[in-house]
A and B are shown apart, each in its own frame.
Chain A
Amino acid sequence: MKTFLTTTALIALAMPAMAEIKLGASISATGPAAFLGDPELKTLEMLVEDLNAKGGINGEEVTLIAYDDNGDPNKARTFATRLVEDDEVVAIIGGTTTGTTMSILAVAEDAEIPFISLAGAIDIIDPVKPYTFKTPHTDRMACQKIFEDMQKAGITKIGMISGTDGFGASMQAQCKTVAPDYAIEIVADETYDPKDADMTAQLTKIKGTEGVQAILNPGFGQGPSIVTRNYKQLAIELPFYQSHGVASDGFIELAGTEAAEGVRLPGTALLVAGLLAADDPQKPVVDAYKAMFEEKTGTPVGTFGGYAHDAFLIMTDAITRAGSAEPAAIRDAIEATSGLAGTTGVYTFTPEDHLGLDLTAFRMLEIQGGKWTLVQ
């Protein structure tokens, strides 16, 4: 990142005539959410470099000013203030977690700077705030997708085991809210700390609860992998659902092919790039991002890097269409985005909808033989 900033600075010095578009980012590249933030930052840096190599937007160079907020909302607010007041960026991407997003959001709305968040909670865009958008599905939608699948299988009573981090706790709460809509009753509700070493106690308790027909595990990081291994250790036969928080090949590797067998989760097209129909609108963008990211970093793509990719795509598309890098013009152009295919889904924003995705963008996936497969 340092070398990158220096090179762009040098280019800027060498070609003073060329205008530049300053894009800001506050991402949790280290700290407890580094697992999400690290690929997000790498994605943004990679895409900016690529874009500038291709001539920038409307002939203007894009400069990315990215800060690492450590997942600390207080720091995120400080960096957002810095982006707005000191760096004078025209738009912000970031907010890896819901907490950091809420902090950046307040600053961006005050300064009337468009902001695209990479975090899950529905509160970010409901109620709609004029300058705030987001790329990931809400955690409520993840719950709905999972419950839809459960309903099809005739499941009515489930147990939940959730991480106590922001991601797990927020999804746990959302799932409890929407469960009645799908006639699903949550009969066991357990949690674990993200750094716990063993979850067999919680799973045993759920297993022993009368009438449980399936188990759902919202969380990210190593927790869900350990839960999945413990699931196999206890030889629990019930259908097992994970969340989009572990939608990456890394999860299968950590949990082990055998333990992960049959696990279902709502994922994005990114994970099943090879299985997409040739005429799938997302196929070109998914293939291109996957190839570029995996070549650049040597690590498999995941849902979270994809969120950053889509945020950048929406932003550059809007600036191109706006033909101007004025914050208000960019905002209007983002809101007018229609049918834009990203890795997460096909985005169509309206003044009432700043997420722009519906449930169809989520695909129910199942792990079979160590590979992701689409559930029909």
Chain B
Amino acid sequence: MRLTPKSVTLLALVVLIALSPIFFPSGFYYRIGALIFVNALAVTGIVILTGWAGQISLGHAGFAGIGAYACALAPVHWGIHPALAVVLGAAISAVLAWLVGRPILRLKGYYLAVASLGMGILISMVLNNERELTRGPDGIDVAELGLRGVLKDAGLDLSNGQFWYFFCGIVLILGAWLALNLRDSATGRALRALHGSEVAAKTVGMDVARLKLQAFVISAVYASVAGSLLALQNKFITPDVAGFMHSVEMVTMAVLGGVGSVAGAIFGAAVLTLLPQVLTVFAEYEQLVLGAVMVLVMIFLREGVVPSILRKIRGRGE
């Protein structure tokens, strides 16, 4: 049986997530793993938007903020179960992305960058300023998801760290599977054609605006769910989640790992999540190293780490 690249990626992901804990020296590593998975999920959305559809966004953290605050607010104000709040957040993000995306996706390059930046800043401003609702910059508590308790009753007793590690891991596998399926679908192929040349895609009769909008909405949902997972596992969230630097972080992870590939996105998320943990002894140099890594990877591994390395391994295969 010959494995497709899609099944290789998914299989590697499943094996990594399932077997890594064997090597964990302490419970802290479950936390790091869970963070990597959450970031990787958001970044998978960026791969769809930027890697495949070729559109840039500097405001996607705004959607993560919506997902996170949906989990904080919906259970308290409307008595909605946190699990449904995740869905609600994703729905709000999708609708907002659809409304905002229509006008701003007409813009190109840096103009799209500034428009998406503005959208992200507006969302984070609302989260900061609407104190009555969001409790402002100091943050707000988030309800317990409750699934861990259910599992415990069913005889599966996991520590908090373990639970979130496996839960986020499973969601990531699902997200990656959906993204990879999308990639091979008609829509996915059209998106990638669009990235190659928008004019050419238009000429052959593709509905370019609609395709771009679809990618924007899907990526917003990924970011929103990632934000929800972050809020639920921390049981506390602040507006920082929607901040500009978080948007930049998402794009950086995607581009660093390889914006055209899901595996690259996961790799990028892992590297940038681990970096501050590895550099703690040199905390003063963290920014210096981060900046240098961003520049060097973009210069020497233009397509990102994973695709560049794969290409080297395969020779001129591609």
Chains A and B belong together in one complex: yes
Interface positions of A (Cβ within 8 A of B): 1-2, 5, 29-30, 67-68, 70, 72-75, 77-79, 81-82, 84-86, 97-99, 102-103, 106, 110, 121, 123, 164-166, 169-170, 173
Q: Please determine whether B26 and A86 come into contact, CB atoms closer than 8 angstroms.
A: yes
In the complex, the answer to whether B281 meets A99 with C-beta atoms within 8 Å is: no
Q: Across the interface, which residues of A come within 8 angstroms of B141, CB to CB?
A: 102
Instruction: Identify the closest chain B residue to A6 (Cβ).
Output: B281
A79: B residues at CB distance < 8 A: 280
A103 B236 Cβ-Cβ under 8 A:
yes
CB contact under 8 A between A1 and B136, given known A75-B276, A164-B129? no
Residues 1-43 (chain B) with a chain A CB within 8 angstroms: 25-29, 31-32, 35
**A166 partner, pick from B26, B136, B235, B287, beta carbons under 8 A:** B136
A77 to B160, CA, bound (A): 13
Interface contact B31-A73, CB-CB below 8 Å: no
Asked if residues B277 and A82 are in contact (CB atoms below 8 Å), the reply is yes
Residues of chain A with a CB closer than 8 A to B241's CB: 74
Residue of A nearest to B139 (CB): A99
The answer to whether B197 has its CB under 8 Å from any CB of chain A is no
Asked, given contacts A68-B286, A99-B238, A99-B240, whether A169 binds B138 with beta carbons under 8 Å apart, the answer is: yes
Residues of chain A within 8 A of B296, CB atoms compared: none
CB distance from B39 to the nearest CB of A (A): 10
Interface string of B270-302 (1 = CB under 8 A from A): 000000110011111011000000000000000
Given the known A-B contacts A85-B26, A98-B138, A98-B139, are A169 and B128 also in contact in the complex, defined by CB atoms under 8 Å? yes
**Which chain B residues border A173 with CB–CB below 8 Å?**
131, 136
Would you give the shortest CB distance from A369 to chain B, in whole angstroms? 36
Closest Cβ–Cβ distance, residue B42 to chain A (whole Å): 13
A70 to B137, CA, bound (A): 15
Q: Tell whether B187 is near chain A: CB-to-CB under 8 Å.
A: no
CB neighbours (8 Å) of B136 from chain A are 166, 169-170, 173
**Which residues of chain B have C-beta atoms less than 8 A from A123's C-beta?**
138
6 closest residue pairs by CB, A with B: A85-B28, A86-B28, A166-B137, A85-B27, A68-B283, A98-B138
B230 within 8 A of partner (CB): yes
Complex CA distance for A85 and B28, rounded to whole angstroms: 5
Say whether B236 contacts A73, CB under 8 Å: yes
